[in-house]
Amino acid sequence: MVNVVNPQDGRTTRSRDASPAAGETSENGRANLPAARRDSTFLDACRRRPVAHTPVWFMRQAGRSLPEYREARGTVPMLEACAIPDLIVEITMQPVRRYAVDAAIFFSDIVVPLKAIGVDLDIKPGVGPVIADPIRDAAGVDRLRLLDPSDVPYVTEAVGALTGELGDLPLIGFAGGPFTLASYLIEGGPSKNHERTKAMMYGEPELWARLLDRLADIAIAYLKVQVEAGARAIQLFDSWVGGIAPADYRTSVLPHSSKIFSALEAYDVPRIHFGVGTGELLGLMGEAGADVVGVDWRVPLDDAVHRVEAGKALQGNLDPALLLAPWEITADRARQVLDQGRTAEGHVFNLGHGVLPNTDPGMLARLADLVHEESTGR
Ligand code: 1CP
């Protein structure tokens, strides 16, 4: 990969070059080091090391708002697309070609490992994951078997191919957090209040713990597949866990998230943890074992710093809806996020949640450039 400056607008994009093969020496004289030893501002910021500029990537940068995504997907159903290595590679690469992002996120979905172990589910367009036979009792929990790497050969293949395509740019692997996956499985689909989920958490704590423990084991196996195939960071998306109180998080979720982060510790890849509306949980999410705590747009980063224990980097947190406002407003708010991020031991710029489907990709391109320009040398 090389950075190419467009003479018309001065923006930097990446282009695929003939990257040197393993063992050869690259243009800048550096030996073509094994992935784990190459430079990356993203990995450095996650590890709270000094960086030349603030790294940036966008949650849900792949898919959603890109016309070339819709073209590549065509009529292929989402879950089928997630099992076709060439398509996964293409869609993962699309935002990397457009934006000067410092990391790629693997194109998949949090329910892919559940589908792979035989859960009857679908991703319905405009809705999200829908489960045919929701889990409401011990028999349902027992039907969730563990994930074996041979269940997801397309993930291993796509991650492997991507690490070649991406060169120095790190690939982020991901999994769904235990509360969020439990919610889809118990409710049977997307839910506003997570009523049955919380009823099980409060009313049947042993069953709940068994379910979350099983989901943690599945997440561990799924994340290991991605890291062993070449992913250089992982993110645990517990998107909907912000719906519970800190005391319940501590007793009913944290032990399971902790299990996931501990199981990944030996791989020495940065572990990022994110959820929406988790202002009251940020400290606990760090305590669970994340190296980087993702912050949504509701809590300023200079406030989040005080909610999270020392020794953690922060990721976030521009409101994705700001990308629908005039550029100067977006730019001002992005500068604010950068300023607030400077109070953290490490800062990875991101949105406060995923890219909204109506976002103009041109705005994301400008935002990635602004983050680099405004943070260089500061
Ligand atoms: O950048 C990327 O888009 C990478 C791929 C990616 C990721 C990281 C997809 C593709 N999904 C996810 C994670 C994911 N999936 C999360 C966590 C992140 C977040 O909070 O946004 C969640 C909660 C899901 C579940 C899910 N899958 C939803 C949300 C439904 C709800 O409860 O509101 C939806 C709509 C999906 C479908 C889906 N996943 C991904 C895409 C591109 C789509 C749309 C499917 C389509 O185009 O038909």
Q: Residues 289-306: pLDDT tens digits?
A: 999 999 999 999 999 999
Cα 53 to the chain's mean position, in Å? 21
Ranges of H-type helices in the chain: 41-46, 67-73, 78-81, 85-98, 112-116, 138-142, 153-166, 178-187, 195-203, 205-229, 246-252, 254-264, 282-287, 301-307, 327-341, 361-375
Q: Which atom of ligand 1 is nearest to the CA of 127?
A: 35
* Mutation pick for ligand 1 pocket among 101, 110, 112, 115 (CB with most ligand atoms within 8 Å): 110
Residue nearest atom 26 in ligand 1 by C-alpha distance: 128
Distance, in Å, from the CA atom of 300 to the CA atom of 305, rounded to the nearest integer, reads: 9
Distance, in Å, from the CA atom of 340 to the CA atom of 4, rounded to the nearest integer, reads: 30
* pLDDT category of residue 38 using cuts at 50, 70 and 90: low
Cα of 315 vs centre of ligand 1, distance in Å, is: 19
Q: What is the DSSP letter of 38?
A: S
Cα of 109 vs centre of ligand 1, distance in Å, is: 6
Distance, in Å, from the CA atom of 304 to the CA atom of 315, rounded to the nearest integer, reads: 10
DSSP element (H, E) containing 317: strand 313-318
Distance, in Å, from the CA atom of 341 to the CA atom of 353, rounded to the nearest integer, reads: 16
Cα of 65 vs centre of ligand 1, distance in Å, is: 12
**Whether 275 contacts 257, CB under 8 Å:** no
Q: Which CA distances in Å does 196 have to 48, 70, 170, 203?
A: 40, 35, 38, 10
Residue 378 pLDDT: 77
Residues recognised as catalytic: 60, 64, 73, 109, 184
Q: Which atom of ligand 1 is nearest to the CA of 58?
A: 1
pLDDT, average across residues 4-11: 40
Residue nearest atom 9 in ligand 1 by C-alpha distance: 109
* pLDDT category of residue 256 using cuts at 50, 70 and 90: very high
CB atoms within 10 A of CB 125: 8
The DSSP bridge partners found for residue 362 are none
Residue type, 365: A
Distance, in Å, from the CA atom of 186 to the CA atom of 304, rounded to the nearest integer, reads: 31
Across the chain, mean pLDDT equals 91
Cα of 287 vs centre of ligand 1, distance in Å, is: 26
Q: How does pLDDT run across 87-136, given as a tens digit for each residue?
A: 999 999 999 999 999 999 999 999 999 999 999 999 999 999 999 999 99
Residue nearest atom 40 in ligand 1 by C-alpha distance: 109
Q: What is the DSSP letter of 99?
A: S
DSSP element (H, E) containing 13: strand 12-15
**Higher-scoring residue by pLDDT: 2, 164:** 164
Distance, in Å, from the CA atom of 262 to the CA atom of 39, rounded to the nearest integer, reads: 25
Q: How does pLDDT run across 199-239, given as a tens digit for each residue?
A: 999 999 999 999 999 999 999 999 999 999 999 999 999 99
Distance, in Å, from the CA atom of 234 to the CA atom of 226, rounded to the nearest integer, reads: 9
* Mutation pick for ligand 1 pocket among 64, 75, 109 (CB with most ligand atoms within 8 Å): 109
| Ligand 1 first shell, C-beta below 6 A | 60-64, 78, 105, 107-110, 123, 125, 128-129, 174, 180, 190, 237, 239, 354
DSSP element (H, E) containing 12: strand 12-15
DSSP element (H, E) containing 124: strand 121-124
Distance, in Å, from the CA atom of 318 to the CA atom of 76, rounded to the nearest integer, reads: 32
Q: What's the farthest any 2 CA atoms get from each other in the chain?
A: 63
Residue nearest atom 33 in ligand 1 by C-alpha distance: 190
pLDDT at 338 over 50: yes
Residue 34 pLDDT: 41
pLDDT, average across residues 351-365: 96
Cα of 124 vs centre of ligand 1, distance in Å, is: 11
CA torsion sign for 214, 215, 216, 222 is positive
Domains defined along the chain, listed by start? 70-315 (3.20.20.210)
Whole-structure pTM value: 0.91
pLDDT at 11 over 60: no
Q: Which atom of ligand 1 is nearest to the CA of 190?
A: 32
**Whether 221 contacts 146, CB under 8 Å:** yes
